[in-house]
A and B are shown apart, each in its own frame.
Chain A
Amino acid sequence: MARTLTFKIFRYNPTKDNDEPHIETYELEETPRLNIFTALHRIREKQASDLMYDFVCRAGICGSCAMMINGRPTLACRTLTADLTDTIELYPLPFFKLLGDLSVDTGVWFHDMAKRVESWIHTQKEFDPTAVEERMDNDTANKIYESERCIECGCCVAACATAQVYPDFLGAAGLNRIGRFMFDPRDQRGEQEWFELVSTDVGVFGCIGMMACDDVCPKDLPLLEVFSYIRRKMNSGVQVAVKDLELS
Chain B
Amino acid sequence: MTGIDTELYPKAETRHSQKSSAFKNAKKALRDERISGLTGAFLAFFILGHLVLESSILVSAKLYEDVAYFMEHTVPMAQPLIFIVTIVFFIHFVWAGRKIPGKLRERKMMLELGKKLKASKKGWQQDPKSDIKLRKHFETSMWITQVRTGMIVLATGAFHLFLVMWNIFTDMGVAGQVVGLTEEVATARVASGLWILYGVLMLNVVAHMAIGVYRLIVKWFADTWFVRNYAKALFYFLFWFYTILGTATVIAMAGPLEGILS
Contacts and interface: CB of A to CB of B under 8 A. Distances in A.
- Of B11, B16, B32, B103, chain A has the most CB atoms within 10 Å of the CB of B16
A26 interface: no
A60 interface: no
Tier of interface size on chain A: 35 or more
B137 A115 contact: no
A242 to B, nearest CB: 8
A225 B16 contact: no
A231 interface: yes
B13 to A, nearest CB: 8
Contacts of A185: none
Interface in B215-241: 215, 218-224, 228
A209 B218 contact: yes
Contacts of B228: 211, 214, 224
B256 interface: no
A200 B223 contact: no
B2 A228 contact: no
Tier of interface size on chain B: 35 or more
A79 B29 CA distance: 39
A207 B12 CA distance: 27
Contacts, number: 144
Given A120-B9, A159-B137, A205 B33 contact: yes
A211 B218 contact: yes
Interface stretch (B17-25, B50-58, B60-68): B17-25
A71 B122 CA distance: 21
A40 interface: no
B132 A238 contact: no
A228 B218 CA distance: 7
B19 to A, nearest CB: 7
B77 interface: no
B102 interface: yes
Contacts of A210: 137, 139-140, 142-143, 215
Given A165-B106, A208-B99, A238 B131 contact: no
A189 B99 contact: no
A227 interface: yes
Contact of B219 (A109, A116, A209, A242): A209
A215 B12 contact: no
A227 B220 CA distance: 8
A147 to B, nearest CB: 12
Given A212-B139, A229-B223, A189 B12 contact: yes
A121 to B, nearest CB: 9
> Which 10 pairs across A and B sit closest by C-beta, in order of nearness?
A122-B12, A225-B223, A199-B26, A224-B222, A228-B222, A196-B22, A211-B139, A209-B219, A165-B106, A228-B223
